[in-house]
Chain A
Amino acid sequence: MSAAAPGTTFIVLMLPFLAAVIAPWLTRRLGHNAAWLLALAPVAIFVHFLGFSAEVADGGFVTGGFQWVPSYNVSFSWLIDGLSLTFALLISGIGALIILYSGGYLKGHDQLGRFFAFMLLFMGAMLGVVISDSFLMLFVYWELTSITSFLLIGFDHTREASRRAAIQALVVTGGGGLALLAGLLVIWNITGVSQISLLLNYGDDVRASPFYLLALLLVLGGAFSKSAQFPLHFWLPNAMEAPTPVSAYLHSATMVKAGVYLLMRLNPVLGDTVWWETLLPLFGGATLIVGTLLAIRQTDLKLMLAYTTVSSLGLLVMLTGFGSEHAIAAAVLYLVAHSLFKGALFMVAGLIDHETGTRDVTALGGLRKAMPITFFAAMAAAISMAGLPPFVGFLAKEEIYYALWATNPWALAFVAVAVLGNALMFVIGFAVAIKPFFGPLVKTPKAAHEGPVLLWLGPVVLGVAALIAALLSPLTHRFISSPMASAVAGRAETVSISLVPHMGPALILSLVTVAIGVVFYLALDRLRAGMAWLLLAIGWGPDRGFDQLISGLVRLSMVITRFVQPGRLDIYMTVTFLMIAAALIGPMAWYGEWPSMPVWPADAQFHELVVIAIAFIGLLAVIYARDRLTAIVSLGVQGFAVALIFMLFGAPDLSFTQFMVETLAVVILALVMTRLKLTSSDHRPTGRKLVDLSVALACGIGFMLYLLAVTQQPFNTALSEFFAAYSKVVAHGTNVVNVIIVDFRGTDTLGEIAVVMVTGLAILSLIRIRSLRSGEIADNDPDQPRTDRYGPEHLGPDQTGKVT
Chain B
Amino acid sequence: MRTIIFRSIAPFLTSLMVLFSIFVLLRGHNEPGGGFIGGLIAASALAIYGIACGVAAVRRAIYYHPIAISAFGLFMATLAGVLSMFAGVPFMSGLWIYPEILGVELALSSVLIFDVGVYLVVVGAISSIALGLEEGDRD
Contacts and interface: CB of A to CB of B under 8 A. Distances in A.
Q: Do A and B interact?
A: yes
Interface of A: 652-653, 656-657, 660-661, 663-664, 667-668, 671-672, 674-675, 731-735, 737-739, 741-743, 746-747, 749-750, 753-754, 756-757, 759-761, 763-764, 767-768, 770-771, 774-775, 778
B125 A759 contact: yes
B13 interface: no
Contacts of A759: 125
A98 to B, nearest CB: 46
Interface string B52-70: 0000000000000011001
Interface string B29-67: 111111111001101100100010000000000000011
Contact of A757 (B40, B73, B114, B130): B73
Contact of A742 (B41, B111, B137): B111
Contacts of A749: 77, 114, 118
B37 A732 contact: no
Given A675-B133, A737-B34, A660 B81 contact: no
A730 to B, nearest CB: 8
Contacts of B36: 657, 741
A746 B92 contact: yes
Given A660-B44, A761-B125, 4 more contacts: A741-B34, A753-B121, A760-B126, A771-B139
B114 A667 contact: no
Nearest to A745: B92
Contact of B35 (A675, A734, A742, A747): A742
Contact of B126 (A664, A733, A739, A770): A664
B43 A664 contact: yes
A656 B129 contact: no
B130 to A, nearest CB: 6
B29 A746 contact: no
A770 B30 CA distance: 44
A735 B29 contact: yes
A668 B92 CA distance: 34
A664 B44 contact: yes
Contacts of B40: 657, 660-661, 664
Contacts of A663: 44
A55 B91 CA distance: 48
Nearest to A668: B130
Nearest to B74: A757
B127 to A, nearest CB: 9
Contact of B33 (A656, A675, A743, A747): A656
B14 interface: no
A756 B125 contact: yes
A721 B121 CA distance: 31
B38 to A, nearest CB: 9
A659 to B, nearest CB: 9
B28 A770 contact: no
A770 to B, nearest CB: 7
A390 to B, nearest CB: 67
B113 to A, nearest CB: 10
Nearest to A735: B30
Contacts of B139: 771, 775, 778
Interface in B80-121: 81, 91-92, 94, 96, 107, 109, 111, 114-115, 117-118, 121
B71 interface: yes
A739 to B, nearest CB: 7
A757 B70 contact: yes
A760 B77 contact: no
Nearest to B29: A733
B132 A756 contact: no
Nearest to B96: A732
Contacts of B31: 734-735
Given A733-B30, A760-B126, A747 B132 contact: no
Contact of B134 (A656, A671, A750, A775): A671
Contact of B94 (A675, A732, A738, A741): A732
A753 B129 contact: no
Given A675-B136, A764-B129, A767-B133, A653 B34 contact: yes
Interface of B: 24, 28-37, 40-41, 43-44, 47, 51, 66-67, 70-71, 73-74, 77-78, 81, 91-92, 94, 96, 107, 109, 111, 114-115, 117-118, 121-122, 124-126, 128-130, 132-137, 139
B27 to A, nearest CB: 8
16 contacts: A653-B32, A667-B51, A668-B129, A675-B133, A675-B137, A732-B96, A737-B34, A741-B35, A746-B92, A756-B122, A760-B66, A760-B126, A760-B129, A763-B129, A764-B129, A767-B129
Nearest to A768: B132
A166 B132 CA distance: 44
A734 B30 CA distance: 4
Given A656-B33, A735-B30, A760 B111 contact: no
A21 to B, nearest CB: 29
A667 B37 CA distance: 17
Contacts of A742: 28-29, 34-35, 111, 114-115, 118
Contacts of A668: 47, 126, 129-130, 133
B121 to A, nearest CB: 4
B109 A732 contact: yes
B33 A757 contact: no
Most chain B Cβ neighbours within 10 Å, of A660, A735, A774: A660
A672 B133 contact: yes
A585 B137 CA distance: 41
Contacts of A753: 73-74, 77, 117-118, 121-122
Nearest to A761: B67
B40 to A, nearest CB: 4
Nearest to B121: A753
Contacts of B78: 750
Most chain A Cβ neighbours within 10 Å, of B47, B81, B125, B133: B133
Nearest to B41: A660
A652 B77 contact: no
A663 B40 CA distance: 9
A718 to B, nearest CB: 22
B29 A732 contact: yes
Contacts of B111: 731, 733, 742-743, 746
A352 to B, nearest CB: 59
Given A756-B121, A763-B132, A735 B71 contact: no
Given A657-B37, A735-B29, A764 B91 contact: no
A724 to B, nearest CB: 14
Contacts of B115: 738, 742
Nearest to A652: B32
Nearest to A770: B136
A735 B124 contact: no
A775 B136 CA distance: 10
Contacts of A733: 29-30, 111
B125 A760 contact: yes
A757 B94 CA distance: 23
Contacts of B129: 668, 760, 763-764, 767
B111 to A, nearest CB: 5
Contact of A653 (B37, B134, B136): B37
Instruction: Report, nearest first, the 3 A-B pairs whose CB atoms are least far apart.
Output: A760-B125, A660-B40, A652-B32
A764 B81 contact: no
A757 B117 contact: no
Contacts of A763: 128-129, 132
Contacts of B24: 656
A735 B32 contact: yes
Nearest to A731: B94
B33 A671 contact: no
